[in-house]
């Protein structure tokens, strides 16, 4: 291959170890490679708008965005962290031979606490917590977050008896706590210990290069484990474990487990089949568990038996729910309802010299109700996502700003003429027409759609709230307190949130996936 293979990786110690492993293997095959550490999402620059590619709602990571953006050729992941549905256009190119798939317990002093009634174990994983409490129901399990190094440091500085880690993660970065026990009885996360390489589907040269790294037995086993997970989870965060293996007689065995959050209920399945006749093992295991009460456990996890940590003011899809870190409990509900208004044909057919559009809802209403090409000379908008939608549905955008205030300031300085048509909601950005009016610019407001606030009360235990528009903030505050962290999709939403919340965080790009990534960064 003549081109240099750009390998995308996070810059954590473990991620770099995994990426360098792939780099070494590709270079041993004669390929030239280069590591590309990716720290943040940055801006999306795609040849086609996202909605044309069908990618909405399924971004998994910053590295996926970098690949779709053309900044990297392949990405390297811990396979257990990858959602069962990859973003459209990205495919699995290789699975490396699996390392240690077991969980291990790092402990202090001695092992006597295992036989005692009272002990405290730390883990951020629902699966590990549920299995530990199933085996040791009188123990206490506390939450533990952070990278491997910080978690080990927390174990030293807290009065816990032990903490649970993935064995592969510790081994790969050369960390070996003094006292450890292999938890061979604990069913691991699906694909735990495996490294996956993903590439663009439309890049056969790169995929062919990566195919030489594929370890077929690992690929087969992890595929069964992930299929078992996919069938059971349904977008929820239930404690699920799975492990498949192939013995010397080419017999494939899959063991799966589903538990309640508190570990009191546990359903297991263990099926085997000869290699070549193993295709239905995941389905058989999952159906066996579902038929014995698994549906009840899955439904309990869907409604949230655990205290909700994060609340979304917009309903999230199953794909989006899967993007949250394991152990994070999230609920979602639409806090605003949208209904398009019927616009006069005379208004849609007449020419407009200067037009302002600040939301996707306005774009959709204009597009669906216009019978032909809209005669908009200069279109001004807020937000990159709205800009892409306008240019796909209506026409070119003259200028796009991050928020309403910046757009108003630009129009005062650079707009030709002293009149604009503002296609807005009944609940609109007050600062924009106010600033324009003060500068003698006439604003003709057209209520394109109606936004109805539809808030619900959320629990006091919620730590953070996700907002996707200024209206969702307004709706939320009608029935709820502001003693939370506000995670906002863009600057306009953040401006509204700052009126009420002390701590406001803004996503790097205006997508639901980027807001989810923002949340994950805190957990």
> For 73-95, what is each residue's pLDDT tens digit?
999 999 988 888 888 899 999 99
Return the sign of the alpha-carbon dihedral for residues 189, 191, 197, 203: negative
**Which pLDDT belongs to residue 53?**
33
Asked if pLDDT for residue 384 goes beyond 80, the answer is yes
The yes or no reply on domain 103-183 and CATH 3.40.190.10 is yes
Residues 289-306, mean pLDDT to the nearest whole number: 70
Work out the pLDDT band at 237, boundaries 50, 70, 90. low
Q: How far apart are the C-alpha atoms of 189 and 191, rounded to whole Å?
A: 6
Long-range contacts of residues 278-282, Cβ cutoff 8 Å, at least 24 apart? 278/220, 278/224, 278/252, 281/224, 281/244, 281/252, 281/254, 282/224, 282/225, 282/227, 282/228, 282/231, 282/254
**Which pLDDT belongs to residue 306?**
53
| Fold entry, domain 310-335+455-521 | Rossmann fold (3.40.50)
Class (C level, CATH) for 215-300: alpha beta
Residues 145-156, mean pLDDT to the nearest whole number: 83
Residues 60-68, mean pLDDT to the nearest whole number: 77
Q: How far apart are the C-alpha atoms of 520 and 518, rounded to whole Å?
A: 6
Asked if pLDDT for residue 47 goes beyond 80, the answer is no
- Distances in Å between the alpha carbon of 138 and those of 115, 120, 134, 190, 470? 11, 10, 9, 27, 46
Work out the pLDDT band at 404, boundaries 50, 70, 90. confident
Tokens encoding 13:
């110690």
Convert 30-40 to b/e letters by CB count within 10 Å (16 or more is b).
ebebebbebee
Mean pLDDT score of the chain, rounded to an integer? Answer: 88
**Which pLDDT belongs to residue 426?**
85
> For 482-522, what is each residue's pLDDT tens digit?
999 999 998 889 999 999 999 999 998 888 899 999 999 88
Asked if pLDDT for residue 41 goes beyond 60, the answer is no
Query: If we measure between CA atoms, which residue out of 255, 270, 121, 261 comes closest to residue 188?
Result: 255
Query: Domains of the chain: which residue ranges?
Result: 1-95+194-214, 103-183, 215-300, 310-335+455-521, 343-453
Residues 256-278, mean pLDDT to the nearest whole number: 93
The CATH architecture that domain 1-95+194-214 belongs to is 3-Layer(aba) Sandwich (3.40)
**Which pLDDT belongs to residue 82?**
85
Work out the pLDDT band at 233, boundaries 50, 70, 90. confident
Q: Which residue has the tokens 């663009």?
A: 200
Q: How far apart are the C-alpha atoms of 163 and 393, rounded to whole Å?
A: 53
Q: How far apart are the C-alpha atoms of 282 and 290, rounded to whole Å?
A: 12
Asked if pLDDT for residue 305 goes beyond 60, the answer is no
Distance between first and last Cα of the chain: 41
pLDDT higher for 443 or 174?
A: 443
Out of 81, 262, 334, 522, the active site residue is 81
| Fold entry, domain 343-453 | Rossmann fold (3.40.50)
**Which pLDDT belongs to residue 321?**
81
> For 407-442, what is each residue's pLDDT tens digit?
999 999 999 999 999 999 887 766 899 999 999 999
> For 22-31, what is each residue's pLDDT tens digit?
999 999 999 9
> For 202-211, what is each residue's pLDDT tens digit?
999 999 999 9
Q: 3-class DSSP state for residue 293?
A: helix
Q: How far apart are the C-alpha atoms of 192 and 411, rounded to whole Å?
A: 54
57: left (phi over 0), alpha (psi -120 to 50) or beta: left
Tokens encoding 108:
């202090």
Q: How far apart are the C-alpha atoms of 459 and 468, rounded to whole Å?
A: 20
Asked if pLDDT for residue 278 goes beyond 90, the answer is yes
Asked if pLDDT for residue 42 goes beyond 60, the answer is no
Phi, psi for 223 (deg, rounded to 5): -65, -40
pTM comes to 0.57
Work out the pLDDT band at 55, boundaries 50, 70, 90. very low
**Which pLDDT belongs to residue 109?**
82
Long-range contacts of residues 387-392, Cβ cutoff 8 Å, at least 24 apart? 388/49, 388/50, 388/51, 389/49, 389/51, 389/360, 389/363, 389/364, 390/357, 390/363, 391/49, 392/49, 392/51, 392/52
**Which pLDDT belongs to residue 7?**
96
Query: If we measure between CA atoms, which residue out of 147, 134, 132 comes closest to residue 16?
Result: 147
Q: Is 522 a catalytic residue?
A: no
**Which pLDDT belongs to residue 38?**
80
Q: Do domains 1-95+194-214 and 103-183 have the same CATH topology?
A: yes
Residues 473-478, mean pLDDT to the nearest whole number: 95
Q: How far apart are the C-alpha atoms of 251 and 249, rounded to whole Å?
A: 5
Residues 348-355, mean pLDDT to the nearest whole number: 94
């Amino acid at each position: 291959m003549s081109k240099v293979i750009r390998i995308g990786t996070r810059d954590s110690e473990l991620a770099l170890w995994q990426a360098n492993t792939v780099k070494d293997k590709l270079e041993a095959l004669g390929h030239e490679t280069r590591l590309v550490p990716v720290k943040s999402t940055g801006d999306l620059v795609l040849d086609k708008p996202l909605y044309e590619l069908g990618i909405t709602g399924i971004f998994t990571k910053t590295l996926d965005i970098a690949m779709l953006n053309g900044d990297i050729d392949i990405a390297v992941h811990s396979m257990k962290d990858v959602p069962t549905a990859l973003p459209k256009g990205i495919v699995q190119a290789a699975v490396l031979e699996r390392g240690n798939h077991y969980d291990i317990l790092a402990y202090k002093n001695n092992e006597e606490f295992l036989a005692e009634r009272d002990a405290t174990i730390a883990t951020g994983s629902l699966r590990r917590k549920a299995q530990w409490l199933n085996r040791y129901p009188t123990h206490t399990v506390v939450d533990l977050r952070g990278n491997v190094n910080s978690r080990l440091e927390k174990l030293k500085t807290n009065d816990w008896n032990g903490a649970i880690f993935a064995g592969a993660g510790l081994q790969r970065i050369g960390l070996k706590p003094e006292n450890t026990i292999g938890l061979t009885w604990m069913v691991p996360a699906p694909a735990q210990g495996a490294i996956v390489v993903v590439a663009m589907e439309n890049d056969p040269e790169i995929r062919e290069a990566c195919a030489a790294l594929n370890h077929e037995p690992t690929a087969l086993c992890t595929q069964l484990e992930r299929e078992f997970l996919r069938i059971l989870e349904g977008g929820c965060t239930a404690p699920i474990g799975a492990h498949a293996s192939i013995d010397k007689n080419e017999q494939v065995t899959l063991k799966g487990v589903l538990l309640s959050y508190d570990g009191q209920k546990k359903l297991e399945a263990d099926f085997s089949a000869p290699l070549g006749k193993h295709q239905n093992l995941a389905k058989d295991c999952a159906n066996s568990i579902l038929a014995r009460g698994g549906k009840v456990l899955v439904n309990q996890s869907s409604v949230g038996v655990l205290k909700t940590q994060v609340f979304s003011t917009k309903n999230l899809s199953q794909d989006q729910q899967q993007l949250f870190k394991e152990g994070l409990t999230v609920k979602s509900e639409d806090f605003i309802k949208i209904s398009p208004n019927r616009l006069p044909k005379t208004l849609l057919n007449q020419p407009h010299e200067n037009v302002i559009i600040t939301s996707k809802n306005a774009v959709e209403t204009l597009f669906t109700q216009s019978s032909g090409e809209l005669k908009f000379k200069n279109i001004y908008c807020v937000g990159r996502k709205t800009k892409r939608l306008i240019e796909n549905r209506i026409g070119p955008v003259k200028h796009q700003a991050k928020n309403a205030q910046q757009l108003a300031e630009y129009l005062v300085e650079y707009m030709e003429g002293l009149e604009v048509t503002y296609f807005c909601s009944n609940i609109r950005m007050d600062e924009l027409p106010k600033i324009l009016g003060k500068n003698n610019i006439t604003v003709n407001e057209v209520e394109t759609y109606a936004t109805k606030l539809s808030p619900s009360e959320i629990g006091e235990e919620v730590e953070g709230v996700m907002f996707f528009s200024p209206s969702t903030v307004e709706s939320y505050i009608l029935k709820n307190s502001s003693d939370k962290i506000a995670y906002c999709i863009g600057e306009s939403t953040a401006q509204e949130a700052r009126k009420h919340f002390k701590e406001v965080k803004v996503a790097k790009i205006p997508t639901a996936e980027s807001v989810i990534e923002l949340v994950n960064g805190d957990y």
